[in-house]
């Protein structure tokens, strides 16, 4: 009886234990019942009791034999696990095969950090040099990834190098794998890449790029520096025309807070190319006229302009000031027989002015020179300097100017040669005729400056003019009085689009008159003793002026805010970045 029961149990449990004969006599003969326990199923928690215990089949968690349905369920779970294992094995095999088939795996990667590990003889090509003459040639280019667009088996990429852009195409072929295309499509914008490929003629002009006629068919792409995935501002948004009201724009504070990204835009690259051009042309012309470039101190012992708008700094155990102008030192150098000098450097003004044209630190282009008979020799020289700058920008920087105008619309800058010179009284007369009530001894307000600029443009068709013979009472202490009328001075301002860009004058070179003028302006003589003493041993008649670089660029390009033409602007509310 017991043998029959065991035989019956083994028949039912056969799928869950190793295959054995269902013959009970054979099992008894082999001592199977006496020596073995039934196999436990650890995955399901199901088991059978040892042979010497009373049991009729696999036991469940409750210690009772499983039903037929439970046994079927157990079979299904085992089959499911088997298929899962087979599927995972197949996927692993396919992955191995895929890796083996990525014939382009050496053609793309994120490179290790560049630490000048090696030097090679590779030849690099700039994006701006990619023209139709390069068609058919292989090139190696380093550029930023401007945009990328993956479309399955190919990826369209735009590479940017400063103001220049070119389209690249990375498409699956005998040398470019699917993995490489997928890699290229996933690179973050603004990352710096090294790409190689053949230059081909574009089927149609690529209007979104500066290099419209050619494309690079990329077969190698390596990431030199990976940008973070989220940018604080989008290059496309920061480059949109100001007049495009339907599209997203980036406000000024966001731009300045993230100036490094903002400066990457093509219009900004062009603006600062023009700014560099102004400096180059300024230096070029004055050097050709016998001027020597000098460098003056920016830490001084007294307020150089005689006013209170200076930054005071701790200087060891005493105090000093940041120079409002290189004025005093330019004059002292002329007394040392340098004859004609210019300087380009920082100027500091502690004016709490939050206007579109004021900065607390700007770059000054300063001129100082001796003259023989009349200070108009100085006015003529400065006027010719401006004309040289305007002509040079027009003739040499037209491409940059056009790029700026795509975002900031403006009329071409107009000027006369020689420059228009009006007296201050004539300027006041023009304003009075236009209905402005003002006296001849008043300084021009900003609104009156702009109005006068419009009146001059209407009458003389020029955006640049010079206003001579200012009232003495509105000029610094070192300004030479007019010999014919003590209420006037031998001083002048120069204007672009109705805004002042240069202030200058004949300087007082007689120490007695200089002391008199300083006392009138309540300046501590002890603090400017070295300056006054420099004129005691023979000083030539001289004059000059100071130009605000950022303001010149702003007005020439008609940008409407000097912060657009200052790389890292400083004003009363901003000292970063």
Q: Which of 537, 547, 509 is nearest to 328 (CA)?
A: 509
Kind and range of the H or E run holding 146:
strand 138-150
- Which residue is catalytic, options 551, 563, 565, 566? 551
Task: Please confirm, yes or no, whether 5 is among the known catalytic residues.
Answer: no
| Long-range contacts from 196-200, C-beta under 8 angstroms, 24+ separation | 196/138, 196/139, 196/140, 196/141, 196/220, 196/221, 197/138, 197/139, 197/168, 198/136, 198/137, 198/138, 198/139, 199/130, 199/134, 199/135, 199/136, 199/137, 199/138, 199/139, 200/135, 200/136
The answer to whether 148 touches 79, Cβ cutoff 8 Å, is: no
Task: Please confirm, yes or no, whether 358 is among the known catalytic residues.
Answer: yes
Task: Please confirm, yes or no, whether 349 is among the known catalytic residues.
Answer: yes
Q: Where are the alpha helices (DSSP H) in 151-234?
A: 178-185
- Which residue is catalytic, options 215, 305, 499, 500? 500
In angstroms, the CA 499 to CA 334 distance is: 30
In the block, residue with structure tokens 């019942």: 33
Q: Which of 88, 473, 549, 564 is nearest to 278 (CA)?
A: 549
Q: Which of 299, 328, 325 is nearest to 314 (CA)?
A: 299
Q: Which letter does DSSP use for residue 543 in this model? A: E
Collapsed DSSP state (helix, strand, coil) of residue 221: strand
In angstroms, the CA 105 to CA 575 distance is: 48
Q: Which of 183, 160, 159 is nearest to 172 (CA)?
A: 183
Q: Which letter does DSSP use for residue 524 in this model? A: -
Task: Please confirm, yes or no, whether 522 is among the known catalytic residues.
Answer: no
Q: Do strands 312-315 and 318-322 pair parallel, antiparallel, or not at all (unpaired)? A: antiparallel
Q: Which of 359, 225, 293, 302 is nearest to 521 (CA)?
A: 302
- Which residue is catalytic, options 503, 534, 565, 566? 503
Q: Do strands 292-293 and 340-348 pair parallel, antiparallel, or not at all (unpaired)? A: parallel
Distant-in-sequence, close-in-space partners of 377: CB < 8 Å, separation ≥ 6: 369, 371
In the block, residue with structure tokens 């000093």: 320
- Which residue is catalytic, options 349, 388, 475, 517? 349
List strands edge to edge, sheet with 299-300.
299-300, 318-322, 312-315
- Which residue is catalytic, options 138, 162, 259, 358? 358
- Which residue is catalytic, options 198, 212, 236, 351? 351
Output the 3-class SS for 258-327.
Answer: CHHHHCCCHHHHHHHHHHHHHHHHHHHHHHHCCCEECCCCCEECCCCCCCCCCCEEEECCEEEEECCCCH
In angstroms, the CA 531 to CA 323 distance is: 14
Burial degree of 577 (CB within 10 A; 0-12, 13-18, 19+): exposed
Q: Which letter does DSSP use for residue 65 in this model? A: B
Distant-in-sequence, close-in-space partners of 125: CB < 8 Å, separation ≥ 6: 134, 139, 140, 141
In angstroms, the CA 525 to CA 534 distance is: 13
Which runs of E-coded beta strand occur in 42-125? 108-110
Catalytic residues: 349, 351, 357-358, 500, 503, 551
């Amino acid at each position: 009886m017991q043998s029959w029961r065991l035989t019956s149990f083994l028949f039912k449990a056969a799928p869950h234990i190793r295959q054995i004969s269902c013959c009970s006599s054979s099992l008894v003969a082999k001592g199977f019942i006496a020596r073995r326990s039934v196999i436990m199923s650890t995955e399901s928690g199901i088991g059978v009791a040892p042979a010497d215990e009373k049991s009729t089949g696999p036991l469940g968690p409750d210690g009772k034999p499983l039903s037929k349905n439970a046994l079927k369920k157990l079979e299904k779970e085992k089959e499911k696990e088997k298929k899962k294992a087979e599927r995972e094995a197949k996927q692993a095999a396919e992955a191995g095969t895929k890796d083996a088939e990525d014939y382009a795996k050496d053609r793309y990667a994120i490179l290790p950090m560049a630490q000048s590990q090696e030097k090679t003889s590779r030849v690099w090509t700039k994006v701006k040099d990619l023209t139709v003459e390069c068609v058919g040639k292989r090139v190696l280019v380093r550029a930023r990834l401007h945009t990328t667009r993956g479309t399955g088996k190919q990826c369209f990429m735009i590479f940017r190098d400063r103001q220049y852009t070119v389209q690249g195409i990375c498409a699956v072929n005998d040398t470019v794998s699917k993995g490489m295309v997928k890699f290229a499509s996933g690179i973050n914008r603004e990352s710096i890449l090294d790409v190689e490929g053949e230059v081909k003629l574009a089927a149609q002009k690529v209007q979104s790029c500066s290099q419209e006629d050619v494309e690079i068919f990329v077969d190698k792409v390596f990431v030199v520096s990976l940008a973070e995935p989220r940018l604080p501002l989008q290059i496309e948004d920061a480059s949109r025309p100001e007049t495009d009201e339907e599209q997203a724009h980036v406000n000024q504070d966001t731009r300045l807070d993230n100036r490094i990204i903002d400066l990457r835009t093509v219009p900004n690259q062009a603006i600062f190319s023009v700014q560099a051009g102004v400096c180059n042309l300024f230096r070029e012309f004055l050097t050709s006229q016998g001027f020597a470039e000098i460098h003056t101190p920016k830490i001084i012992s007294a307020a150089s302009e005689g006013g209170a708008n200076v930054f005071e700094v701790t200087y060891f155990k005493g105090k000093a000031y940041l120079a409002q102008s290189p004025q005093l030192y330019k004059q002292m150098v002329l007394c040392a027989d340098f004859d004609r000098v210019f300087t380009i450097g920082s100027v500091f003004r502690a004016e709490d002015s939050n206007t579109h044209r004021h900065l607390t630190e700007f770059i000054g282009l300063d001129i100082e020179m001796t003259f023989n008979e009349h200070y108009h020799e100085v006015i003529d020289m400065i006027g010719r300097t401006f004309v040289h700058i305007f002509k040079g920008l027009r003739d040499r920087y037209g491409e940059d100017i056009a790029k700026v105008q795509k975002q900031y619309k403006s009329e071409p800058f107009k000027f006369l040669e020689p420059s228009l010179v009006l007296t201050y009284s004539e300027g006041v007369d023009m304003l009075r005729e236009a209905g402005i009530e003002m006296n001849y001894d008043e300084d021009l307000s900003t609104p009156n400056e702009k109005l006068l600029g419009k009146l001059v443009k209407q009458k003389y068709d020029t955006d640049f003019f010079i206003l001579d013979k200012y009232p003495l009472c509105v000029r610094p202490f070192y300004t030479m009085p007019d010999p014919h009328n003590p209420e006037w001075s031998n001083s002048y301002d120069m204007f672009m689009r109705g805004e002042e860009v240069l202030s200058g004058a004949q300087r007082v070179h007689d120490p007695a008159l200089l002391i008199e003028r300083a006392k009138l302006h309540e300046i501590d003589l002890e603090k400017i003793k070295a300056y006054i003493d420099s004129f005691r041993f023979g000083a030539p008649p001289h004059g000059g002026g100071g130009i605000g670089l950022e303001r010149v660029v702003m007005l020439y390009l008609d940008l409407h805010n000097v912060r657009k033409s200052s790389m890292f602007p400083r004003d009363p509310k901003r000292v970063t970045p």
